Amino acid sequence: MPRLLLLLPTSTYRTAAFVEAARRIGVELTVASEQPSTLEAANPAGFLTLDFEQPERAADAARVFATQHPINGVAGVDDNTALVAAAIATRLGLKGNPVHAAMAASDKFLQREQLAQAHVPIPRFVLRNLEEDPAAVAKSIPYPCVVKPVRLSASRGVIRADSPQAFVAAHGRLRAILQDPATAAACGDRARHYLIEEFVPGYEVALEGLVVNRRLHVLAIFDKPDPLDGPFFEETIYVTPSSVPAGLEAAIEDCAERAVRALGIVEGPIHAELRYNERGPCLIELAARPIGGRCSAVLRFGDQGVALEEVILRHALGMPIPSLQRESLAAGVMMIPIPGAGTLKEVSGVAEAKAVPLIEDVQITALPGERLVPFPEGSRYPGFIFARGETPRDVEAALRAAHQKLGFTLLPQQPPASGVGPTPP
């Protein structure tokens, strides 16, 4: 029986989905995390502790582990572990991306440099040092612009500025975020820099894909019906199939495929964000990992409704994939907007939200007593709503109706002195 090395950060939402997928396909599973399990001694072949911040060191440890327990495939679930998976795949000769490709996919500056060289349409950008005088920088850039951290994900720290004054304010907020010790450690050297890029007006879509032997297979294109015009970029609704015209859809897919080639991604899942307007599609981000959070639950493939995680694990192990064709129903997810700053006391209306026609599930992931931090300092949504129906329009309407049923009671909380968001445990 083949053995899969699954790289699961202890803070991921995806544990159950990936572990259950591994069980369904019947493989020997080794779960690697950045912190040891208390049961590691009881099942040495089933657990591994790896330093996800040091991919090469993690690859060394995996190589040693594999001498005792041969590994047939490796899979990461987020940006960090995608990079570690690439290092391990390279070291052990497994299916996966080269390290430079995974690195480019997780570093927004490297990514933009390589995409620009390959003439993939992207926003104009420049990398600046956080220590530069923001007032001076503000005079040298066109507006509207967007400031972005180089390494953070989930739109954390991403702020639009329409004027020099707004830019200086945005710089201050981003600087505070990047100076948070945990964030700085996670970003490494990149915590000292940030990107300024052109704001691209238009509609935004997300593209989910699987690269198989250098070829991109598009699994789904999601519309994002809520405008993402800033000043912050909190995601809300994803609905698939997309309503973009067929010709434009082909252009979006072509843009993503060119980006995959430019970055050197040869295997595994990708998640891309693109905007389109009268000039055509423009790639905003591309990550060598699957869609985040619990959003993957909306994707099912083939007659059997195979989950995205199963597709990813089968691909990593070189096992047959029953289908890459998404089901015929429309599906959608709402990342529940953060209702404000404060400590969560209670959430009401969950049963009523679940009772809305077409709603499949409402998952409240924030716990009572948890501190909620709005964007751009925060990035943790309080929960997710899932719906499935005949048309994307029906699904979107159901998601909005269900959200209307929810009530969040927050206790006020003094903002922290630094203004930074939560840190993972």
Binding region for other proteins (CB under 8 A): 8-13, 15-17, 19-20, 23, 29, 31, 33, 35, 37-39, 41-43, 46-47, 78, 153-154, 235, 292-293, 300, 303-305, 307, 335, 350-351, 354, 358-361, 363-365, 367-369, 379-381, 387-388, 422, 424-425
Cα–Cα dist 173/56, whole Å: 33
Cα–Cα dist 303/50, whole Å: 37
For residue 18, the minimal CB distance to other proteins (Å) is 9
Q: Contact, 30 vs 5, CB < 8 A?
A: yes
Tokens linked to 243: 């309503």
- When the beta carbons of 13 and 167 are compared against other proteins, the nearer one is 13
Q: How far is CA 350 from CA 50, 297, 363, in A?
A: 38, 18, 8
- State the residue for tokens 């080269």: 98
Tokens linked to 20: 């259950």
For residue 134, the minimal CB distance to other proteins (Å) is 27
- When the beta carbons of 111 and 296 are compared against other proteins, the nearer one is 296
Q: How far is CA 53 from CA 57, 62, 117, 176, 255, in A?
A: 9, 14, 28, 22, 31
- When the beta carbons of 79 and 197 are compared against other proteins, the nearer one is 79
- When the beta carbons of 33 and 111 are compared against other proteins, the nearer one is 33
For residue 218, the minimal CB distance to other proteins (Å) is 22
- When the beta carbons of 107 and 257 are compared against other proteins, the nearer one is 107
- Within 13 Å, how many C-alpha atoms sit on residue 242's CB side? 25
Q: In what order do the strands lie in the sheet with 3-7?
A: 47-49, 28-33, 3-7, 73-76
- When the beta carbons of 163 and 418 are compared against other proteins, the nearer one is 418
- When the beta carbons of 245 and 369 are compared against other proteins, the nearer one is 369
For residue 375, the minimal CB distance to other proteins (Å) is 11
- When the beta carbons of 160 and 380 are compared against other proteins, the nearer one is 380
For residue 377, the minimal CB distance to other proteins (Å) is 14
Q: In what order do the strands lie in the sheet with 371-372?
A: 371-372, 342-348, 407-411
Tokens linked to 226: 């809520």
- When the beta carbons of 17 and 75 are compared against other proteins, the nearer one is 17
Q: Contact, 325 vs 301, CB < 8 A?
A: yes
Q: Contact, 29 vs 22, CB < 8 A?
A: yes
Peptide bond just before 422 cis, omega within 30 deg: no
Q: Which is it for strands 306-307 and 342-348: parallel, antiparallel or unpaired?
A: unpaired
For residue 365, the minimal CB distance to other proteins (Å) is 6
Task: Return all residues near 341 (Cβ < 8 A) that are at least 6 apart.
Answer: 372, 373, 374, 410, 413, 415
For residue 210, the minimal CB distance to other proteins (Å) is 19
- When the beta carbons of 195 and 359 are compared against other proteins, the nearer one is 359
Cα–Cα dist 145/161, whole Å: 5
**For 278-358, where are the E strands, in sequence order?**
280-287, 300-301, 306-307, 330-335, 342-348
For residue 31, the minimal CB distance to other proteins (Å) is 5
For residue 251, the minimal CB distance to other proteins (Å) is 27
For residue 399, the minimal CB distance to other proteins (Å) is 13
